[in-house]
């Protein structure tokens, strides 16, 4: 069985994520139909559905190891919105990773300096 390859999958991914980030927030979530209308307004003619948007959002959140784009269901509609992560949390994660890398890098030199004494 051959896999059905979509040549526009990267454009779809970037379009959907970009539209959710730019056009939604916690007070103004966006639905699949609104995303589809915005895609048509941008001049693209591909269709999207809930499954593909859900997969794109899961992949985006997994990449950032955080829930940046949230989703919820109200009635028959699924809503998506971009939750602007607190910059302090992102900075704290970056500093933690940098310290871990720096500490691992400096371990051999500390051991070497102790042997010289």
Q: pLDDT (tens digit, 9 = 90+) per residue, 38-83?
A: 999 988 888 888 999 999 999 998 988 778 899 999 999 999 999 8
User: What's the CATH code, domain 9-84?
Assistant: 1.10.10
Distance CA 47, CA 36 (A): 7
Who wins on pLDDT, 46 or 91?
Answer: 46
Among 20-29, 46-55, 86-95, 99-108, which stretch is predicted with the lowest mean pLDDT?
99-108
CB 69 within 8 A of CB 55: no
Entry pTM: 0.66
CB 68 within 8 A of CB 60: yes
Contacts of 23 (CB under 8 A, 6+ apart): 30, 34, 38
């Amino acid at each position: 069985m051959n896999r059905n390859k979509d040549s526009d999958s990267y454009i779809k991914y970037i379009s959907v994520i970009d539209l959710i980030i730019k056009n939604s927030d916690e007070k103004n979530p966006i639905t699949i139909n609104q995303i589809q209308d915005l895609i048509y307004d941008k001049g693209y003619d591909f269709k999207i559905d809930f499954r593909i948007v859900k997969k794109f959002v899961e992949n985006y959140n997994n990449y950032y190891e955080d829930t940046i784009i949230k989703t919820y269901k109200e009635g028959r509609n699924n809503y998506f919105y971009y939750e602007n992560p607190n910059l302090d949390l992102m900075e704290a994660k970056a500093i933690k990773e940098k310290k871990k890398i720096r500490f691992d890098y400096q371990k051999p030199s500390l051991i070497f300096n102790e042997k010289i004494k």
